């Protein structure tokens, strides 16, 4: 059945039970703090510290928005983009879109104006739903996009003249379930990914893929109605949303925490009685460091119900988990591997019972198959390195409007080539050893070297530049720019830092190295050589200490 029926079931069986809670720590009473500058999170204009809705209210809000979309001519197969920070409105809007038979198109809240336009054009978006954090970015490209309608989620007084206010327009809409037949094989959503060039691809998923992720997540983590899932990462990403799907299928409560400071996480776990928390590596590092410094006193919080901590979105240092287990010996630990083309996490899964295999990404997840293949797509021998391939109901339908790229990664018999190099140990557990692509994963976010390189090349003092990832204890990797200056020019690190202020903060190189940029006879940058020069010793150290 389509995923919308799980919401309707929950509204019918558990109408008065809380489904979603939103916590905005910046607006906590008697606190005057801001998390604008904190990594991976942006600011909010929400006036309330805590908001919640029941399953019945959730379904009603989704129905109201779906029926509003009908009045604007949205029909089955149309695309509606969502550009919001995590908030109580996010999921009802998403499900309202699905209930019309249209496709939900979540956008990364870090997108600059040109990226918003690019993705809207690529996915044939007809309508955009956005929040106050994005008004300036949307204003900058509004006249260049072929979008019919805009809905603004925020204060009526701040609604741009070209948009309608979401709350005002949905208030009087019908609460009746839209009379649209939706099958598992119908298209449901488009998510965005990128290769090393940095140009996003539009990933098309069916309803069957969304349902498959629900079942896999619930199978992996055994959620029940008694579980409370603390969700901190952004909902635009397949990772956060598909982990929340475990709450949807089990009718459990979820808490959207709009902030990542360790004390806020512990307050939310304690006050909301969270049992499952999904963290990124830097957040787990920050928690442990705060405890070591005495900034967090565990006895101040109610934590006995917290049963599972799991991490995804980037490689997890085994040393981090060993350290975590010393502080929280009763916690189960798990990790999942996935990609947007496989509907997010879960196609490979470690399992809470396999703590001794920390460092591996695991085995095939629930409903999935895995292979490790050579360049001819033949299986390699166990212990040999090859490309990881996965197959299951969560594999994308295609890259939207890009058959050439689809053919490169999808085989005729349904295998998805992930682009990640891996090997199996003697017990069949899969370990990642490298990435085919040059994507840098920093704090769970993908950085695309070519985008940063192209930006830096606009500096008239720079002759050549290459961007690679350097190992980092907290973020997994950081972007390092190897810069070759033109003869006769002088340029300092401060000059480069100032020049990069035009880039979004998360894309700015964290390390500047002035050195020649090696290229091979065909003109390609020899990034393996650069990694050997600048990463070799640190990588060996990390492997021996972990």
Residue 451 counted as domain residue: yes
What length is written for the chain?
A: 546
Residue 171 carries which DSSP code?
T
Say what the pLDDT of residue 365 is: 95
Count Cβ atoms below 10 Å from residue 450 Cβ, excluding itself: 16
CB 34 within 8 A of CB 26: yes
At 51, list the tokens: 């908001």
Q: What total of structural domains would you count in the chain?
A: 2
* Separation of alpha carbons 343 and 223, rounded Å: 19
Examine the fold and report which residue of 282, 311, 340 is the final residue of a domain before the chain moves on. Answer: 311
* Separation of alpha carbons 97 and 69, rounded Å: 8
Name the maximum alpha-carbon separation found in the chain.
74
Q: Domain with 197 in it: what CATH number?
A: 3.40.50.12780
Say what the pLDDT of residue 273 is: 97
At 144, list the tokens: 């260049």
Residue 53 counted as domain residue: yes
Examine the fold and report which residue of 268, 288, 311 is the final residue of a domain before the chain moves on. Answer: 311
Say what the pLDDT of residue 359 is: 84
* Separation of alpha carbons 58 and 95, rounded Å: 9
Residue 23 counted as domain residue: yes
Bridge-based pairing of strands 440-442 and 445-447 is antiparallel
Residue 31 counted as domain residue: yes
CB 91 within 8 A of CB 103: no
CB 361 within 8 A of CB 431: yes
Using the structure block, give the residue that is written with the tokens 């396999």: 354
Residue 208 counted as domain residue: yes
Task: Assess whether 300 and 447 both reside in one domain.
Answer: no
Count Cβ atoms below 10 Å from residue 307 Cβ, excluding itself: 16
* Separation of alpha carbons 394 and 344, rounded Å: 8
* Separation of alpha carbons 100 and 71, rounded Å: 11
CB 182 within 8 A of CB 2: yes
* Separation of alpha carbons 60 and 91, rounded Å: 12
List the domain range (segments joined by +) for residue 537: 440-545
- What pTM value is reported for the model? 0.82
Residue 320 counted as domain residue: no
Residue 194 β-bridge partners: 200
Say what the pLDDT of residue 98 is: 98
* Separation of alpha carbons 60 and 206, rounded Å: 24
Using the structure block, give the residue that is written with the tokens 């940063």: 452
CA distances from 224 to 113, 219, 325 (A): 41, 11, 24
Q: Domain with 468 in it: what CATH number?
A: 3.30.300.30
Q: In what helix (H) or strand (E) does residue 278 lie, and over which residues does it extend? A: strand 276-279
Say what the pLDDT of residue 246 is: 93
Q: Provide the residue-wise pLDDT of the chain in tens; the chain has 546 residues.
A: 889 999 999 999 999 999 999 999 877 655 433 333 333 333 344 457 899 999 999 999 999 999 999 999 999 999 999 999 999 999 999 999 999 999 999 998 888 899 999 999 999 999 999 999 999 999 999 999 999 999 999 999 999 999 999 999 999 999 999 999 999 999 999 999 854 345 789 999 999 999 999 999 999 999 999 999 999 988 998 888 888 999 999 999 999 999 889 999 999 999 999 999 998 877 888 899 899 989 999 999 999 999 999 987 666 778 788 889 999 999 999 998 898 999 988 899 999 999 899 889 999 999 999 999 998 999 999 999 889 999 999 999 999 999 999 999 999 999 999 988 889 999 999 988 766 667 788 888 778 787 788 789 889 898 889 999 999 988 889 999 999 998 888 999 999 999 999 998 889 999 999 999 987 644 567 887 888 888 863 333 322 222
SS3 state at 260: coil
Residue 370 counted as domain residue: no
At 250, list the tokens: 């089990």
Q: Dihedral, CA atoms, 169, 24, 344, 59, nearest 10 degrees?
A: -40
Q: What is the DSSP annotation of 372-437?
A: EE-TTSPBPPTTS-EEEEEEETTS-SEETT-HHHHHHHB-TTSPEEEEEEEEE-TTS-EEEEEESS
Examine the fold and report which residue of 293, 311, 329 is the final residue of a domain before the chain moves on. Answer: 311
Q: What is the DSSP annotation of 478-493?
A: EEEEEEEEPTT----H
Helices of type H across 273-360? 281-292, 318-327
CB 482 within 8 A of CB 525: no
For the chain, give percent helix, strand, coil, nearest 5: 35, 25, 40
Closest CA relative to residue 140, chosen from 112, 181, 163, 159:
112
Residue 39 counted as domain residue: yes
């Amino acid at each position: 059945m389509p995923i919308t029926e799980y919401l309707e079931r929950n509204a019918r069986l558990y109408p008065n039970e809380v489904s979603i809670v939103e916590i905005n720590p910046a607006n906590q009473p008697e606190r005057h703090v801001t998390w604008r500058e904190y990594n991976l999170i942006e600011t909010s204009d929400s006036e309330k510290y805590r908001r919640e809705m029941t399953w019945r209210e959730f379904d009603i809000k989704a129905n109201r928005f779906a029926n509003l979309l009908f009045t604007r001519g949205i029909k089955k197969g149309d695309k509606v983009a969502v550009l919001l920070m995590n908030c109580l409105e996010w999921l009802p809007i998403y499900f309202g879109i699905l209930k019309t038979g249209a496709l939900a198109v979540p956008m990364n809240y870090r997108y600059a104006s040109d990226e918003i336009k690019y993705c809207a054009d690529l996915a044939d978006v007809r309508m955009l739903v956005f929040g106050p954090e994005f008004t300036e970015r949307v204003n900058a490209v509004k006249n260049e996009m072929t979008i019919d309608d805009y809905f603004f989620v925020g204060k009526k007084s701040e609604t741009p003249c070209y948009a309608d206010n979401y709350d005002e327009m949905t208030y009087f809409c019908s609460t009746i379930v839209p009379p649209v037949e939706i099958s598992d094989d119908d298209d449901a959503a488009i998510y965005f990914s990128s290769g090393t060039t940095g140009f996003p691809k539009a990933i098309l998923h069916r309803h069957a893929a969304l349902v498959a992720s629900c079942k896999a997540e619930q199978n992996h983590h055994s959620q029940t109605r008694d579980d409370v899932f603390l969700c901190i990462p952004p909902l635009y990403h397949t990772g956060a949303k598909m982990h929340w799907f475990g709450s949807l299928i089990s009718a459990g409560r979820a808490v959207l925490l709009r902030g990542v400071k360790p004390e806020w996480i512990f307050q939310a776990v304690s006050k909301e009685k969270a049992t499952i928390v999904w963290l990124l590596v830097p957040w787990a590092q920050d928690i442990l460091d705060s405890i070591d410094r005495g900034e967090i006193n565990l006895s101040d919080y109610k934590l006995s119900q917290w049963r599972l901590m799991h991490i995804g979105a980037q490689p997890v240092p085994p040393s981090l988990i060993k350290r975590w287990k010393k502080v929280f010996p009763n916690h189960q630990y798990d990790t999942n591997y996935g990609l947007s083309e496989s509907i997010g996490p879960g196609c490979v899964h470690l399992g809470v019972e396999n703590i001794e295999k920390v460092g591996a990404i695991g085995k095939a997840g629930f409903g999935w198959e895995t292979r490790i293949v050579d360049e001819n797509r033949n299986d390699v021998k166990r212990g040999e390195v090859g490309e990881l391939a996965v197959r299951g109901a969560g594999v994308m339908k295609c890259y939207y409007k890009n058959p050439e790229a689809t053919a490169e990664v999808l085989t005729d018999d349904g295998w998805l080539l992930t682009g990640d190099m891996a090997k199996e140990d003697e017990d069949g557990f899969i370990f990642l050893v490298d990435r085919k692509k040059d994507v840098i994963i920093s704090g769970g976010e993908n950085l695309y070297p070519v985008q940063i390189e192209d930006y830096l090349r606009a500096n008239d003092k720079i002759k050549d530049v290459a961007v690679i990832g350097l190992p980092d204890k907290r973020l997994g990797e950081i972007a390092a720019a190897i810069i070759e200056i033109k003869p006769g020019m002088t340029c300092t690190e401060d000059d480069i830092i100032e020049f990069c202020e035009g880039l979004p903060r998360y894309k700015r190189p964290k390390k500047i190295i002035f050195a020649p940029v090696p290229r091979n006879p065909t003109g390609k940058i020899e990034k393996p050589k650069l990694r050997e020069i600048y990463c070799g010793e640190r990588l060996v150290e990390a492997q021996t200490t972990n």
